[in-house]
Amino acid sequence: MLVSLYRRYRPQFFADVVGQEPAVAVLLEGLRSSRTGHAYLFSGPRGSGKTSLARLLAKAVNCTKRSEEGEPCGACSSCRAITDGESLDVMEIDGASNNGVEEVRELKAKVALAPFSSPFKVYIIDEVHMLSTAAFNALLKTLEEPPAHVLFILATTEPQKVPVTIRSRCQHIPFRRIAVPAIIERLRHVCEAEGVEAAEEALWEVARQADGALRDALSLLEQALSLGRGSLTLDGVRALSGGGTRADLESWGRHLCDDPLAADILLRSMLASGVSPERLLDGAFLLFRDLWIAHRWGQKALDGLDLAPAEKETLLRDAPRWTAGELWKAMRLCQGLMGRARLGLRADVLAGLLSVSLAGVSGEPSDKEVSLPAKEEKGDHPVSTPLVVSSGAERGEAAAFAKPFPTRARQQKRPDHPDLTSKAAPAGDGTVQAFFAAVAERDLALAASLLHGEVVVEEGVLEIRAPSDQPFPFFLLTSRRGIYQLTMALLDSGFTGGRLMAKGTIQDLAPDHPPEDGEEVSPFLFPGHRPSGENGQGSLLKEGQDQGHGEDLTDKTEKEARPSVVTAEVERVLRWTGGDLLLVKEEKNDDGDRLVKRDSLDEEADLE
C-alpha cells in the first residue's frame, strides 16, 4: 500500500523539523546536558509537528549512538524500531478514545515495569485534553513522580483544557503555526525528491491554504499531484480547492474597478465551483488588506508579508486604482460578513451582497444608476426608482449591507445655509441614492422600511409614500423619531425639501428654521415641537403642574418642587423615543408591608 507523503517525509532528525526552532533548541539543550525532563507538554495547532517531535525525542533518549549535539543516529536497532513503529518501549495513546479512568489505571499498572530493550519507556499521549477529570486525577501522582526509566510526552491542541495541576508538572513547550515560506521550501524539497515539476504559484497557493499546518500542505500536495498527473499546477490546485485562489481574487479585484459585470460573473463562478464562503471572504479580506498596505506604504511594507514576488508586483500595480478609504471599507465589509458566513450564508446571497456593495467603487455611477424617471409611460402617477446602493461596512456587520462607498467623481456636499422653506427649489446634487444612503447610515431599519413604500422626486421635492398595508414599516416611517431621521437625511443628501405621505395625510419634512452655526440639531426644530422658554427649555406642561398628576405646585416649597430642568429632560426623552413614562413608587400598607405601585404615563394622554 502506498505510504502518504506526510508519513513518508516525516522528520527523522531534529534538523528536519520545519518552523519549530525554539522547541527543537529546548529539547536539544536538554539532551546535550543530560537534563531531559520526566514529562513534557507539547501544545500547538494541528499539523505543526507535535507528534513528530515527540517521536524524535523518544528516539534520542533511547539511541545508543546519539551524537554530541543530541541527534539520534537513526541506524541502531532502537532507532529503527521506533521509526517503524515496532518498539515495545514507545507507546502512543490516543487520549480521545482512551479517556476513561480505567485506561489510565491500566497504564499506571504497567509504568513500574522495566523497559524491554531500551533505556527508557516513553508514553506519548495525543489529544490529552480529551481525558476525563477522573482520568486526570488518576494520572496526577504518577506524572509528578514517575519511575526513573519513564518519560511522558503529552500533546494537545487545546492546552487551556488541561488542568493546571497537570500543566505544572510538565515542561510546557508551545508550538506555532509554520510560516508560508518555510512550508514552500519543504514542499519544493518533496517535489524534487519525488521527481515532479511544480509551478511556483501552485506552491504558494498550497502553502497558503494549509494555514500553517505542514501535514495539511503535504496532503493537499499529494491530491494536487494526482489531479495534475504527476505535476503540480495552479489549475490542479484550483480544481481541488474549488477555486478562490489568490490569482482568481486578484482578477476579481481588478474587474471591480474596471468592469463590475465581469467581476460579478467571476465571483459567481468561483462560488459555483465549490469554494466555501468562509474561505472566499478570508481571501478577499487579505487581498484588500494587502492592497491597503501597498497603497499606504509601498514596497517596504510588502517585504514583510508572506507574498510571492509576482504577487507583490501585482499589488503595487493595482493599488493606485483604489483609494485608502475604499479599501478600508472593503475590509470592513468582509469582516462583517465573516460571522454570517460561519452561521450558514448561502453562496448566491453572498455573491449578491459583495457585488452590490463593491461594484463601481471606482469612478462615477452610470446614467442608468442615477436616472430618476418622473412619470410612468402608461399613467400620470410618479413611480419609484430602484435604489442602486454601493455599500460599505463602517458601522459594523449590519451597516455592511447598506452604506455606499464614496465615489471620487461625485461627492455630496450640504450647503452652509440651505433654503429650508422653499419646497419647490431644485434638488441640486440630491439623488434618491444619496438620500437612501444617508438614511441607511443613520438607521438601517428605517432604510429597509423605505423599500416597502415609494420614493419619488417631483419638482425638486422628494416625496416618501409610507406603506399603509405594512404595519411595522409604516410605524417606523411615521414615528417622531423616523420623521426626524428622514428630515436629517434629506439635508445630508442635498435636498432642500421633502414630504411624507401616510394614509392621506402629508407631513412636511423640514425644520421650521435653519440651524445656525454651532447650534445643536435636534428633533425639536420641527413645527409644533420647537422648544420655548428660556435657554430653549420648553415645557409641555402647564405652569405650576407636576408631571403626570396635575398637582398645583404653587404652595409647595422650592425643595419639594421638581426642578424644571428635570421636567425638560424627561420631555426630551419622551419626544425622541415616542415612548411612555413608567413611575415606580414604593409604599407601605396598614400592616407595614412594602408595596410597589406602577403607573404608566402615556405621553400623549397624560402630558399633553
User: Which CATH number goes with the domain that contains 13?
Assistant: 3.40.50.300
Residues 218 and 284 in one domain: no
Rounded to an integer, the average pLDDT of 461-486 is: 86
CB distance 210 to 183 below 8 Å: yes
Domain membership of residue 478 (yes or no) is yes
CB distance 79 to 42 below 8 Å: no
CA distance 321 to 210: 31
The pLDDT of residue 14 is: 94
**C-alpha angle 605-607-608 in degrees, rounded to nearest 5:** 75
Question: Does the pLDDT value for residue 372 go beyond 60?
Answer: no
In total, the chain counts a number of residues equal to 608
Name the pLDDT band for 29 (thresholds 50, 70, 90): very high
Residues 69 and 115 in one domain: yes
Question: Does the pLDDT value for residue 551 go beyond 80?
Answer: no
More confident residue, 433 or 154: 154
Residues 164 and 119 in one domain: yes
The pLDDT of residue 472 is: 84
CB distance 506 to 464 below 8 Å: no
More confident residue, 323 or 425: 323
Domain membership of residue 391 (yes or no) is no
Domain membership of residue 383 (yes or no) is no
Domain membership of residue 387 (yes or no) is no
CB atoms under 10 Å from CB of 28, counted, come to 17
Last residue within a domain, chosen from 503, 525, 547: 525
156-202 pLDDT, tens digit each: 999 999 999 999 999 999 999 999 999 999 999 999 999 989 999 99
Structurally, how many domains does the chain consist of? 5
Please name the residues in contact with 195: beta carbons below 8 A apart, sequence gap of 6 or more: none
Q: Which residues pair with 507 in a beta bridge?
A: 500
Q: In which residue are the cell numbers 420641527 written?
A: 526
Residues 434 and 495 in one domain: yes
Residues 266 and 234 in one domain: no
Quote the mean pLDDT of the chain: 77
Give, rounded to a whole angstrom, the gap between the first and last alpha carbons of the chain. Answer: 88
Last residue within a domain, chosen from 124, 158, 174: 174
DSSP secondary structure of 419-438: --S-TTS--TT--HHHHHHH
Tell me which amino acid residue 542 is.
Answer: K
Own/partner pairs, 352-356, CB within 8 angstroms, 24+ separation: 353/400, 353/401, 354/267, 354/284, 355/260, 355/263, 355/264, 355/267, 356/389, 356/390, 356/391
Pairing of strands 594-602, 580-588: antiparallel
Residues 460 and 476 in one domain: yes
Give 198's DSSP letter.
B
Ranges 158-162, 209-213, 237-241, 571-575: which has the least confidence: 571-575
Last residue within a domain, chosen from 241, 262, 294: 241
Question: Does the pLDDT value for residue 591 go beyond 70?
Answer: no
More confident residue, 516 or 172: 172
Ranges 128-142, 322-336, 387-401, 524-538: which has the least confidence: 387-401
Residues 187 and 147 in one domain: no
The pLDDT of residue 570 is: 63
Own/partner pairs, 520-527, CB within 8 angstroms, 24+ separation: 521/488, 522/572, 523/480, 523/481, 523/484, 523/575, 523/576, 524/572, 524/575, 526/483, 526/484, 526/487
401-411 pLDDT, tens digit each: 333 333 333 33
Q: In which residue are the cell numbers 404652595 written?
A: 555
Supply the range of the domain harboring residue 187: 180-241
Name the pLDDT band for 533 (thresholds 50, 70, 90): very low
Residues 54 and 10 in one domain: yes
The pLDDT of residue 564 is: 56
Question: Does the pLDDT value for residue 431 go beyond 60?
Answer: yes
Question: Does the pLDDT value for residue 569 go beyond 90?
Answer: no
Ranges 308-312, 412-416, 445-449: which has the least confidence: 412-416
Domain membership of residue 406 (yes or no) is no
Domain membership of residue 372 (yes or no) is no
Residues 337 and 459 in one domain: no
Residues 154 and 204 in one domain: no
Residues 40 and 160 in one domain: yes
The pLDDT of residue 21 is: 93
Give the helix/strand (H/E) hosting 489.
Answer: helix 480-492
107-154 pLDDT, tens digit each: 888 898 889 888 999 999 999 999 999 999 999 988 988 889 999 999
Question: Does the pLDDT value for residue 480 go beyond 70?
Answer: yes
Domain membership of residue 272 (yes or no) is yes
Residues 124 and 20 in one domain: yes
The tally of CA atoms less than 13 A away on the side-chain side of residue 275 is 26
The tally of CA atoms less than 13 A away on the side-chain side of residue 124 is 21
User: Which CATH number goes with the domain that contains 232?
Assistant: 1.10.8.60
The pLDDT of residue 240 is: 85
Percent of the chain with pLDDT over 70: 72
Alpha-helical segments (H) within 112-242: 133-144, 164-167, 180-194, 200-210, 214-227, 234-241
Tell me which amino acid residue 596 is.
Answer: V
The dihedrals phi and psi of 587, each to the nearest 5 degrees, come to: -130, 170
Name the pLDDT band for 580 (thresholds 50, 70, 90): low
Domain membership of residue 198 (yes or no) is yes
CA distance 280 to 271: 8
The pLDDT of residue 217 is: 93
